[in-house]
Amino acid sequence: MIGPKHSTFKRILPQLLILAAALAINLVVFPDFFDIDFRNGRLFGNLIDVLNRAAPVAILCVGMTLVIATRGIDLSVGAVMAIAGATSAAVVVEGHGWVTALLAGLGAGALCGLWNGILVAVLKIQPIVATLVLMVAGRGVAQLITEGKILTFSNEGLIHLGAGVVAGVPTPILIWMALGALVIFVVRRTALGMLIEAIGINERSSRLAGINSRVLLVCVYLVSGLCAALAGVIVAADIKGADANNAGLWLELDAILAVVIGGNSLLGGRFSILASLIGALIIQSVNSVILLSGMPPEFNLVIKALLILAILVIQSPRISYLMYMLRASGPQPQPDTAPLPKTQKEEAQ
Amino acid sequence: MKLRQTLLAGAIAFAPVTAFAADLTIGFSQIGSESGWRAAETTVTKQEAKDRGITLKFADAQQKQENQIKAIRSFVAQGVDAILLAPVVATGWDEVLEEAQDADIPVVLLDRTVDAPDDLYLTAVTSDLVHEGSVAGQWLVDEMDGADCRIVELQGTTGSSPAIDRKTGFEQAIAGHDNLQIVRSQTGDFTRSKGKVVMESFLKAEGGENICALYAHNDDMAVGAIQAIKDAGLNPGDDIKIVAIDAVPDAHLAIANGDMNATIELTPNMAGPALDALEAFLADGTTPPKWIQTESKLFTAADDNQAIYEQKKDLGY
C-alpha cells in the first residue's frame, strides 16, 4: 500500500508546489487572502472562491484527461456546456422538477459525447477535427433551445446545484471533488485506467492485445460529454439562467491547459486526474491574482499568459533536466535515470 | 412558435413581412440575432413598419457582411423605396452604397455607423454611448448629493467601443465631484457569470461595507453582481447602489424588486426615428441631419418597472 501512495505523491508534487506558489502570489497581492469567515449561512473567503470558481474547469478536466490519455482531444466541451445548461433551463421552465432537468441536461451531454465518440472511434476522424464540428455547431444548437435569449428560471432545486451551499460549503465544490474521487476510484481500482493508457500509447497493439478500443474510445468521449454537461448545468444554475452565447466560452482551452499543467502529455498514455484537478486549481488561483491585483483589465490576458508561460517553462523537460544537472553537478550525475518529478521538486525548493 | 420563426428566418434569407395598403416598400438588412437586444430591435422594427403600413422586406445576415451586401443588392434590384441597414462591421461598404445611390435609393444606418463618405447614406440613427455613461454618472452624482461614495465598476469587454465610451461618459459625469471615487474597475465581459465572479472578488478585496455603489456597463453584469452581493449577506440596491445601462426586462424586474436602482435605456426602437426621417424625405425631400441620436432614457424606482417588464419581456430580449 505504501508503494503506490508514495508514487502518487511524487507524481503530483510539482503541481502542488506550483499551486502553493500561485497561492503565495495571491497572498502577496492581497494579505487577507486566506481569511475565511461564515457569512449569510455560507463560508466566505477568497480561498472558497478559488475552489468554487474552479468547479467548471475541474469537472471538464476530469473527462478531458481521459480523452487526452487516449491521444485524443475534445474541443466541444464548452459548447456542450451551453447545450446542457440550455436543456436543463428549458426543462425547468416547462415546469418539470430539478431532477428531471439535471437528467435532461446530462442526457444532452451524453448524446453530444456519443456523437464525438462515433466520429472518432467508428469513422476514424481525427479528434481535433471531429470535436471541432460540435464546438462550432453546438453553440448554435444551444441558441435554438434558448431562442437566442438568456433563459432564466427560479427553480430552487436546480439553483442549489450552482449557487447553493451544503453545510456552508458551496455545492459546486462538493460536486467536483466527489466526481473527481469517483472517476479516479473507477479508473484506478479497475483495469480501465490501464486500458485507456494502452490505447493512447498504441491503439493498434492494444487492439491486437484484445482491448476493445472502439467501445472504450466511445465511452471516453461519452464521459467527457457527461462531465461537460454537469459543468454546464452548474454554470447555468449559478446565474439562474442559461446564457447560450457565453456559457463555457473558451473553457475547452482552460480544461486542456489544466490537463497540461497537470503534467499529462498531449500525446496520450499515462495520466493523472488528480494532477489535472490541481492544474484547474492553479488556473483559478492565477485568475484570482488578476482579480485581486486591481490592475486595469487591459493587463488581464498578459498577466495570465506570463504566469502560465512561467509554469510551463518550469515544467518543460529541458529545464527540468538542467535543474537536475545543476543539482547533481556536485556529487555524481546520473542523467540516464533522471526522474522528472524529483528534479522539479528540487528546483521549486 | 418563436423557435419556428427563428428557423424560418435562418432558412430563407428573405422573408417578406407583408402589410396591406402599403405605399412604401423598405428593405431592412439586419445583422442577425446575436443578442437579446438585437432580437428586440428586429421585433420593434417590424412592428413600426406595420403600424405605418409600410411593406418591410427583412433580411437576416447571420453576422456576415457578404450576406448584407447581397441583401442590399437584391433590394436595389427589387427597386425598394428605401433601405435600412444595421451594419455588422464599419468598413467595406462604399461600393454597395454607391450602387444604392446610383439607383436613387436612400439608405439609413441603424444602431451603428460605417467608415464611408457621409453623402453615401441619408442619415444614421444611433445611441450615444458616451452620453449613456454620463447619464449613469449624473444619476449617481444626484443620488449621493455630496456624500462620500466608493464606486466599483464592471466594465464591458476590454477594448470594445461600448466599454470604452460608457466608461468615458461616466468618468466625465463624476469628474469634479471629489466625494465620488472609482476604487476598483475590472472587466465582466458583458456577461452575467463574469459579472458575478468579478463582483465576488470586489466584495472581498474592498470589503462589502466599504463599497457604496456599483456601475455596470450593461444590465446583465449588474444582474450577476446582485446575486454576489446577496451571497455576501448585503442588500443590493440599499447597501450598495446599482446603476447600469441597457434597460433589459430583467433590469426592470430587479428595480421593481428593489435590488437595483437605475438603468439607462438603449432603445431597441431605432426604426421609429429612421422611418420618420425617411417618410419626410420621400414625401417632400426634407433632408434629415446626418446623425439622429436616440434618447438615453433613465429608469429608476420612480417608474412602474413591473409594467415596463411585462411590456418588454415579449420583444425577444
Domain span including residue B81? 2-125+268-286
**Domain tally, chain B:** 2
pLDDT band at A330 (very low <50, low <70, confident <90, very high): low
Q: Which residues of B touch A147 (CB under 8 A)?
A: 2-3, 6, 316
Distance from CA of B193 to the nearest CA of A (A): 6
* pLDDT tens digits along A17-75: 999 999 999 999 999 999 999 988 899 999 999 999 999 999 999 999 999 999 999 99
Distance from CA of B118 to the nearest CA of A (A): 33
Residue B315 resides in a domain? no
Same domain? B239 vs B280 = no
Q: CA neighbours within 13 Å on the CB side: how many for B84? A: 35
Q: Enter the C-alpha cell of residue A309.
A: 508561460
Q: Which residues of A touch B191 (CB under 8 A)?
A: 243, 245-246
Distance from CA of B231 to the nearest CA of A (A): 7
Distance from CA of B144 to the nearest CA of A (A): 25
Q: What is the reported pLDDT for A332? A: 53
* Nearest-angstrom CA–CA distance, B165 and B173: 12
Q: Enter the C-alpha cell of residue B130.
A: 458616451
Q: What is the reported pLDDT for A348? A: 42
pLDDT band at B39 (very low <50, low <70, confident <90, very high): confident
Q: Enter the C-alpha cell of residue A99.
A: 431532477
Q: Enter the C-alpha cell of residue B3.
A: 423557435
At residue B72, does pLDDT exceed 60? Answer: yes
Which residues neighbour B114 within 8 Å (Cβ) at sequence distance 6 or greater?
A: B87, B90, B91, B93, B97, B121
CATH classification of the domain holding B154: 3.40.50.2300
Same domain? B38 vs B153 = no
Distance from CA of B188 to the nearest CA of A (A): 9
Q: What is the reported pLDDT for A338? A: 46
Same domain? B133 vs B250 = yes
Query: Under an 8 A CB cutoff, do A144 and B6 touch?
Result: yes
At residue B304, does pLDDT exceed 70? Answer: yes
Chain pair A-B, CB pairs under 8 angstroms: 91
CA-nearest of A161, A26, A33 to A88 is: A161
Residue A293 resides in a domain? no
- Which member of B3, B197, B223 has the closest CB to residue A147? B3
Q: Which one of B197, B217, B223, B312 makes the best mutation probe of the A interface by having the most chain A beta carbons within 10 Å?
A: B197
Query: Under an 8 A CB cutoff, do B250 and A238 touch?
Result: no
Residue A219 resides in a domain? yes
The 3-state DSSP class for residue B217 equals: coil
Same domain? B165 vs B53 = no
Query: Under an 8 A CB cutoff, do A148 and B6 touch?
Result: yes
**Residue A195: what residue type?**
L
The 3-state DSSP class for residue B27 equals: strand
Compute how many other C-beta atoms are within 10 angstroms of the C-beta atom of residue A329. Answer: 9
Contact call for residues A260 and A158 (beta carbons, < 8 A):
no
Query: Under an 8 A CB cutoff, do B205 and A42 touch?
Result: no
Which residue has cell 556536485? A330
Same domain? B9 vs B87 = yes
Residue A316 resides in a domain? no
Q: Enter the C-alpha cell of residue A273.
A: 486526474
Q: Which residues of A touch B193 (CB under 8 A)?
A: 235, 238-239, 243, 246-247
E-state strands within chain A: 36-39, 42-45, 151-152, 165-166, 169-170, 241-242
Q: Enter the C-alpha cell of residue B6.
A: 427563428
Domain span including residue A230? 51-273
Query: Under an 8 A CB cutoff, do A297 and B186 touch?
Result: yes
Distance from CA of A91 to the nearest CA of B (A): 15
Compute how many other C-beta atoms are within 10 angstroms of the C-beta atom of residue A27. Answer: 14
Residue B292 resides in a domain? no
Residue A332 resides in a domain? no
CA-nearest of A337, A283, A349, A343 to A317 is: A343
Distance from CA of B146 to the nearest CA of A (A): 26
Q: Rounded mean pLDDT of A309-319?
A: 89
At residue B9, does pLDDT exceed 90? Answer: no
Bridge partner residues of B155 (DSSP):
B187
Distance from CA of A52 to the nearest CA of B (A): 10
Element (H, E) at B293: strand B291-293
* Nearest-angstrom CA–CA distance, B4 and A192: 45
- Backbone dihedral angles phi then psi of residue B242, each to the nearest 5 degrees: -125, 125
Residue B88 resides in a domain? yes
Nearest CA in chain B to A238: B193
- Backbone dihedral angles phi then psi of residue A164, each to the nearest 5 degrees: -85, 180
pLDDT band at A4 (very low <50, low <70, confident <90, very high): low
Residue A83 resides in a domain? yes
Measured in whole angstroms, how far is the alpha carbon of residue A282 from the centre of its chain?
11
Nearest CA in chain B to A27: B205
Nearest CA in chain A to B159: A298
Same domain? B240 vs B164 = yes
Residue A27 resides in a domain? no
Same domain? B147 vs B43 = no
Contact call for residues A304 and A290 (beta carbons, < 8 A):
yes
Same domain? B225 vs B173 = yes
Query: Under an 8 A CB cutoff, do A163 and B200 touch?
Result: no
CA-nearest of B160, B35, B130, B246 to A297 is: B160
* Nearest-angstrom CA–CA distance, A157 and A42: 17
Which residues neighbour B105 within 8 Å (Cβ) at sequence distance 6 or greater?
A: B75, B76, B79, B80, B81, B82, B83
CA-nearest of B19, B88, B85 to B48 is: B19
pLDDT band at A343 (very low <50, low <70, confident <90, very high): very low
At residue A334, does pLDDT exceed 70? Answer: no
**Domain tally, chain A:** 1
pLDDT band at A345 (very low <50, low <70, confident <90, very high): very low
CA-nearest of A99, A11, A58, A49 to A227 is: A58
Residue B317 resides in a domain? no
Query: Under an 8 A CB cutoff, do B233 and A238 touch?
Result: no
The 3-state DSSP class for residue A279 equals: helix
The 3-state DSSP class for residue B156 equals: coil
Same domain? B135 vs B216 = yes
Q: Report chain B's mean pLDDT, rounded to a whole number.
A: 91
- Edge-first strand order for the sheet with B82-85 is B14-17, B55-60, B25-30, B82-85, B107-110, B123-126, B291-293
* Nearest-angstrom CA–CA distance, A61 and B283: 64
Q: What is the reported pLDDT for A270? A: 94
Q: Enter the C-alpha cell of residue B302.
A: 420612480
Residue A30 resides in a domain? no
Compute how many other C-beta atoms are within 10 angstroms of the C-beta atom of residue A156. Answer: 10
pLDDT band at B15 (very low <50, low <70, confident <90, very high): very low
- Which member of B158, B224, B233 has the closest CB to residue A298? B158
CA-nearest of B315, B156, B151, B123 to B245 is: B156
Same domain? B273 vs B262 = no
Bridge partner residues of B227 (DSSP):
none
Contact call for residues A231 and A81 (beta carbons, < 8 A):
yes
Residue B207 resides in a domain? yes
Compute how many other C-beta atoms are within 10 angstroms of the C-beta atom of residue B113. Answer: 16
Which residues neighbour A67 within 8 Å (Cβ) at sequence distance 6 or greater?
A: A73, A74, A127, A220, A221, A224
Q: Which one of B186, B190, B219, B312 makes the best mutation probe of the A interface by having the most chain A beta carbons within 10 Å?
A: B186
Residue B313 resides in a domain? no
Residue A87 exposed, middle or buried by CB count within 10 Å (0-12, 13-18, 19+) = buried
* pLDDT tens digits along A89-98: 999 999 999 9
Which residue has cell 405605418? B52
CA-nearest of B90, B220, B279 to A246 is: B220
Contact call for residues A345 and A326 (beta carbons, < 8 A):
no
Residue A130 resides in a domain? yes
* pLDDT tens digits along B207-259: 999 999 999 999 999 999 999 999 999 999 999 999 999 999 999 999 999 99
Same domain? B166 vs B244 = yes
Q: What is the reported pLDDT for A242? A: 95
Using a CB–CB cut-off of 8 Å, the residues of A that contact B are 30, 32, 39-40, 42, 44-46, 49, 53, 144, 147-150, 152, 163, 235, 238-241, 243, 245-247, 288, 291-292, 294, 296-298, 300
Q: What is the reported pLDDT for A336? A: 52
Query: Under an 8 A CB cutoff, do B192 and A292 touch?
Result: no
* Nearest-angstrom CA–CA distance, B1 and A207: 50
- Backbone dihedral angles phi then psi of residue B55, each to the nearest 5 degrees: -80, 120
Beta pairing class for B107-110 and B82-85: parallel
Query: Under an 8 A CB cutoff, do B187 and A300 touch?
Result: yes
Contact call for residues B181 and B149 (beta carbons, < 8 A):
yes
Query: Under an 8 A CB cutoff, do A149 and B205 touch?
Result: no
At residue A135, does pLDDT exceed 60? Answer: yes
The DSSP result for A208-259, as a single string, is: HTT--HHHHHHHHHHHHHHHHHHHHHHHHHHTTEE-TTTTTTTHHHHHHHHH
**Residue B96: what residue type?**
V
Helix-, strand-, coil-residue percentages of chain B, each rounded to 5: 45, 20, 35
Q: What is the reported pLDDT for B35? A: 77
At residue B3, does pLDDT exceed 70? Answer: no
Alpha helices in B88-218 (DSSP H): 94-102, 129-144, 161-174, 192-202
Residue B291 resides in a domain? no
Q: Enter the C-alpha cell of residue B119.
A: 453623402
Which residues neighbour B250 within 8 Å (Cβ) at sequence distance 6 or greater?
A: A150, A152, B219, B220, B223, B317
Query: Under an 8 A CB cutoff, do B185 and A296 touch?
Result: yes
Q: Which residues of B touch A288 (CB under 8 A)?
A: 201
Q: Which residues of B touch A297 (CB under 8 A)?
A: 155, 158, 185-187
* Nearest-angstrom CA–CA distance, A231 and A235: 6
* pLDDT tens digits along A213-255: 999 999 999 999 999 999 999 999 999 999 998 999 999 999 9
Q: Which residues of B touch A40 (CB under 8 A)?
A: 230-233
